[in-house]
Chain A
């Protein structure tokens, strides 16, 4: 790693956040959701659409940059990019926007993700490889779909079983992540599960989806959109809110990487892609796990939250079960995780709503505000090529 870190670290910031409501049936087009969220994020920053010159989204998003730009009356764009690998793209949208700003390619870049993932195409229904074109991307499903391993829950379950076998973690340990998320969502009016906390017993009584994963180990499916505005730190300082400084941002793909099915080498106890991200984040931010007051850890499935606690250095390998047993990930604990309720509790917006929560924690405006926040860690989708962020207060 470079001693000085990348040029964007400490010189760029998230200056605005905006979202639609989070629901199960938005009743609107995905494009309209994107337009509403991008507009709200610009209003939050106090920036006019005409000042935007860059847009970033996921390759999985259905809303082209030019549609969003035309709808909002943006003018010319000089930077647009889309990031691949599903939810692994979330923090990378900020990384690529910050790189564009720091290099002078663009000055105001909006990152967005919008979908009707509950009322429209649901990822949880499974892949249908039989009708797919013979591309390498589709062909990978040949090793899973014909055998009935059709969904992200099923792909992750294979890891989780091995993890339990080797570390002694139990289904209850996975459940403690769900309980923490739902506790935090219960006091967040924007969360789908507002005022609906669960107990560990509720978790243990929920039905198996793919053993060892139960229903309450799996994130929601949601309709909604989230957008975030990235500018230079200098510009952000003149805008409406105190900047959430991009201290570090990184992407990572591990050796032997597959799409949530990196089963073929290693011991299935590590997330190699997150190790690549963690090493870069701590290196370029010049801080370590002890310097983070709260974290947003991607929680599509609870077991991978335990993996991440280990991979990011919050506890030694194999000891996340003890870390979560001690209540460390709840409000008031050593590392409150997913204070908005996470994707189990607030909404599944492919990780982008978690970045917005990190911004609120840095601003000091979160509904479940953690005291004395200096740095917030955010991660993106796990088991796939992924990304991460460290946001900090402006000092």
Chain B
């Protein structure tokens, strides 16, 4: 939602030229390394048959063309080591200055969170790129699973030899203050792991398909599947999910259940509430099968269901363990839980065992 705090002083751009033009040897090494056998990257005839002007570079190689190379990088490192923060030394890039400032604020660790690339035309052999890069935004301080930190987004524009914009790349990294390992954190992680194991057992049939995605989600941490925006009104739901409970908010005065949560009861206006644990069983009231756009952290096609719980409230959650073509409105489902991060878990439904129908 929010693109973060824009700081005009960060907008000075660094520009440089690619050391080499787009060339067949580098492309060949790349496609062999990643195992991409599409002939348009190596065979001019095949490329022309596909309607392309000739051999093209794999789009994913974009960043490779404008990497400065080892020597230039070492020179940059030396300049940084000798000149950081001092006037009159080798000019550091805007990004270096931003990162140095964040180091000074105590955000000394770094993790790359995500990278978005947009291509305006295929790159062909002989194209010679130049790049212009600047820090686009630095977020406010965020609480993340890794510790408090700030997200830095760098925008790099790539131009061809004629000065035409051919691609843009947004690279986001998190500069964070590593949380000191403590008894509490260790206990929390252990709890989350145990919770994950329980959820895995509860959704045994779905585990084969679901587990690898969850593992990679956890490994990559921030920047993967979008997490919930936690407020004082809704945090209890996700806290419950982390503990393996599907909670429904209940008015303490009149007992009316409500979802999504709200600060007061629409029936009696009471501000007092607690939550009850749902039995976790319900039926599919409606569902959608998502194909596009495809976002990191999800497996497609993705079945998302609107489930009507036995308690009467409805909620949206993923439906696993059933092929998209086999999902039916009215199908009986039951809840399990999947970790999104060490701190957040989400309910996920799967078809009820036939014996329980």
A interface, CB within 8 angstroms of B: 124-136, 138-151, 154, 157-159, 161-162, 165, 207-211, 261, 263-264, 268
Contacts and interface: CB of A to CB of B under 8 A. Distances in A.
A165 B291 contact: no
Contacts of A128: 1, 226
Interface string B4-22: 1000000000000000000
Given A133-B2, A263-B306, A146 B290 contact: no
Nearest to A25: B120
Interface stretch (B39-47, B104-112, B202-210, B314-322): B314-322
Given A130-B226, A146-B225, A124 B295 contact: no
Contacts of B260: 140, 143, 264
B316 A263 contact: yes
12 contacts: A127-B226, A134-B230, A136-B233, A139-B234, A142-B230, A146-B225, A154-B304, A158-B304, A162-B306, A208-B292, A210-B291, A211-B288
A148 B228 CA distance: 11
Contacts of A209: 291-292
Contact of B229 (A139, A162, A268): A139
Interface in B266-304: 285-293, 295, 298, 301-302, 304
B313 interface: yes
B304 A147 contact: yes
B66 interface: no
Given A141-B229, A157-B288, 13 more contacts: A125-B293, A126-B293, A134-B231, A136-B233, A138-B1, A142-B234, A143-B316, A157-B289, A162-B286, A162-B329, A165-B286, A263-B286, A264-B260
A147 B318 CA distance: 6
B220 to A, nearest CB: 12
A135 B231 CA distance: 7
Q: What DSSP secondary structure best describes chain B's contact surface?
A: loop
Interface string B214-241: 0000000011011111110110001000
B316 A138 contact: no
Contacts of B228: 129, 139, 142, 145-146
B306 A158 contact: yes
Interface in B327-357: 329, 340, 344, 346
B151 interface: yes
Given A148-B295, A148-B298, A131 B304 contact: no
Nearest to A166: B329
A268 B286 contact: yes
How many residues of B sit at the interface, in one of the four size bands? 35 or more
Contacts of B223: 130
A139 B298 contact: no
A138 B324 CA distance: 29
A44 B285 CA distance: 50
A330 B233 CA distance: 48
Nearest to A163: B286
Contacts of A148: 225, 290, 295, 298, 302, 304, 318
B259 A264 contact: yes
A273 B251 CA distance: 27
A125 B226 CA distance: 13
Please name the 4 residue pairs, one residue from A and one from B, whose CB atoms are nearest each other, closest first: A142-B228, A132-B1, A157-B288, A211-B289
B101 interface: no
A264 B1 contact: no
Nearest to A157: B288
Contact of A132 (B151, B229, B287, B306): B229
B139 interface: yes
Nearest to A255: B266
B314 A158 contact: no
Nearest to B144: A130
Nearest to A121: B3
B324 to A, nearest CB: 7
Nearest to A268: B286
Contact of B293 (A131, A141, A151): A151
Contacts of B313: 264
A357 to B, nearest CB: 29
B78 interface: no
Given A210-B291, A211-B288, A264-B260, A147 B316 contact: yes
B287 A161 contact: yes
B227 A149 contact: no
A161 B330 CA distance: 12
A127 B288 CA distance: 17
